[in-house]
Amino acid sequence: MQKLVIRGGTALEGEISLPGAKNSALPLLAASVLCKGETFFENCPRLTDVFSACRILTNIGCRCNMKGHTVSVCADSINLSEIPETLMQEMRSSIVFLGALLGRTGSCQVYYPGGCELGPRPIDLHLDALKRMGAKIRRHEGRLDCSAPEGLCGCCIHLKFPSVGATENIMLAAVLAKGETVICNAAREPEICDLADFLRKCGAHIKGDGESTLRIKGTKELHGCIHRIMPDRIAGVTYLSAAAITGGTIKLSGVKNAHMENVLPVLEQAGCRIDRSEDFIYLRSPKRLRSVSRLRTMPHPGFPTDVQAIIMSIMTLADGITVFEENIFESRYRHVDGLIQMGAEICVSGRTAVVSGVKKLYGAHAAATDLRGGAALVIAGLAAEGITEIRQIHHIDRGYEEIEKVLKGAGADIRRIS
């Protein structure tokens, strides 16, 4: 069992270059199933979720190799369209292989995905949409037997919630379907645009990505290509926040500024000085951050749910009160206990968390409960007085590549011990 040991109190100084985005790499790897010939993904982060996706690809008969930060996939020899329960359970986004396999082979057996640490993770929107496109889906205990013997047909799909995963699944099912698919109330996250860019390079006809209405005209075949995965905007906010809470300065390179415009103003309201160029962000933080009165998580381009825990951790030391409203997931406050153990003053009631800034946090022994909650504990530990030990760090390794090395490179006193 590994843990992170952090001695807080050092102001971070230095430059961090952003890795590729986990939440783009995963649907892209699923999309490679649709392509004939070889596909290369550059700037792919080395994360446990990415290794799980590569195992799924290998399991269904693809050739999949990861060398450094480049993954090559060849799906020409797919010989199985069943994904074992153990692999499905390893992460939530395994469910997007469903749309890809149905689109490519016309049949697929999957199990309900894992990743329930944020509350129930239903897939009703995914399944309803695929059924509307002609898929037959039968449940046997936790297994889903899916088939589309006559192939999938494009249609108009109105999502009752702009689900990121459901939008991705429909895109992957629609690119080889007969006719046009229109997704109304589609997710608008940058990862959707990255997936659409990749699919267009492979020969797909997609319009409207990044907007609420997405149009996909089915085509006969897709071919492999070389695609550089977009930078990880959530990891970017994480590292900016690590500098902000420690009174440090940081240069974040390899960013796409536009992807972070729904969070940077929050850091500026908190007192950080931010200079931006096309591909880097320079943040100088004040001695003490100011609170930001209210933050509501919303679908993109609103304030992202994935940075809620991270921004909450910096607000625990800000001057004033910040009220958080988590509108995307049912229970995404599981990091609060760990922050309170470190001396934070947080009161949770339903979807609302009220954070009253304190002058000091103190090192404690805490456990990561989920990916971003774990990152929040690391950030708090960087500013806490004394030693913080964080257990269950496999959650953190799902979304951050060698987080301790990245932070140590900016001056943090942090190490991983077994």
Q: Which residues, 159 to 218, sit near ligand EPZ by CB under 6 A? A: 161, 163-166
Distance CA(298)–CA(145), nearest Å, equals 33
238 binds ligand EPZ (CB under 6 A): no
Judged by beta carbon, residue 143 or residue 251, the one nearer ligand EPZ is 143
DSSP 290: B
CA distances from 91 to 88, 130, 388, 405 (A): 6, 21, 28, 24
Among 19-27, 55-63, 276-284, 407-415, the segment contacting ligand EPZ (CB under 6 A): 19-27
328 lies in the binding site for ligand EPZ (CB under 6 A): yes
CB of 20 to ligand EPZ, least distance (A): 13
Taking CB under 6 A as the criterion, which residues in 79-108 touch ligand EPZ?
Answer: 92-93
Nearest distance from residue 390's CB to ligand EPZ, in Å? 17
Q: Which positions from 239 to 278 touch ligand EPZ by CB under 6 A, shown as an x/- string?
A: ----------------------------------------
Question: Quick one: which of 25, 26, 50, 315 contacts ligand EPZ (CB under 6 A)?
Answer: 26
Rounded least distance, CB 137 to ligand EPZ, Å: 13
In the complex, what is the shortest distance from the CB of residue 122 to ligand EPZ, in angstroms, rounded to a whole number?
4
Pairing of strands 180-184, 213-217: antiparallel
User: To the nearest whole angstrom, how small is the minimum distance from the Cβ of residue 244 to ligand EPZ?
Assistant: 20
Is residue 136 within 8 Å of 150, Cβ to Cβ? no
Does the footprint of ligand EPZ cover residue 124 (CB under 6 A)? yes
CA angle 396, 397, 402 (to 5 degrees): 110
The binder of ligand EPZ chosen from 36, 55, 121, 132 (CB under 6 A): 121
Which residue, among 89, 92, 164, has the nearest Cα to 121 in the 3D structure? 92
305: contact with ligand EPZ by CB under 6 A: yes
3-class DSSP state of 354: strand
Cα 380 from Cα 309, distance rounded (Å): 11
Looking at beta carbons only, is 28 or 74 nearer to ligand EPZ? Answer: 28
Cis previous bond, 19, omega within 30: no
Q: Does 399 bind ligand EPZ (CB under 6 A)?
A: yes
Q: Which amino acid is at 195?
A: L
Strand-by-strand arrangement of the 3-7 sheet: 365-367, 387-391, 3-7, 413-417
Q: Is 311 in the site for ligand EPZ (CB under 6 A)?
A: no
Looking at the Cβ atoms of 165 and 363, the one nearer to ligand EPZ is 165
Asked whether position 126 contacts ligand EPZ by CB under 6 A, the answer is: yes
335 near ligand EPZ, judged by CB under 6 A: no
| Min dist. Cβ of residue 326 to ligand EPZ (A) | 10
Q: Is 125 in the site for ligand EPZ (CB under 6 A)?
A: yes
Q: Do residues 379 and 245 touch, judged by C-beta distance below 8 A?
A: yes
Interface with ligand EPZ (CB under 6 A), residue total 23
Tell whether residue 229 is a contact of ligand EPZ (CB under 6 A): no
Count of CB atoms situated within 10 Å of the CB of 221 = 11
Neighbours of 109 (CB within 10 A): 19
Give the whole-angstrom CA distance, residue 289 versus residue 234. Answer: 20
Q: Could you tell me the maximum CA-CA distance found in the chain, to the nearest angstrom? A: 64
Cβ neighbourhood burial of 149 (10 Å; 0-12, 13-18, 19+):
exposed
Residue of closest CB approach to ligand EPZ: 165
Beta bridge partners of 214: 183
The correct pick among 137, 292, 371, 406 for binding ligand EPZ (CB under 6 A) is 371
Region binding ligand EPZ by CB under 6 A among candidate stretches 80-88, 124-132, 135-143, 264-272: 124-132
Active site amino acids = 116
Please give the Cα distance from 53 to 88 (Å, whole number).
9
User: Which residues lie closer than 8 Å to 26 by C-beta, 6 or more apart?
Assistant: 49, 50, 53, 91, 93, 96
Binding mask 132-161 for ligand EPZ (x = CB under 6 A): -----------------------------x
Q: How far apart are CA 273 and CA 282, in angstroms?
A: 8
**Strand pairing of 280-284 and 273-276?**
antiparallel
Q: Closest approach of Cβ 370 to ligand EPZ, in Å?
A: 7
Candidates 22-30, 202-210, 223-231, 342-350; binding stretch for ligand EPZ (CB under 6 A): 22-30
372 is an interface residue for ligand EPZ by CB under 6 A? yes
| List of residues contacting ligand EPZ (CB under 6 A) | 22-23, 26, 92-93, 121-126, 161, 163-166, 305-306, 328-329, 371-372, 399
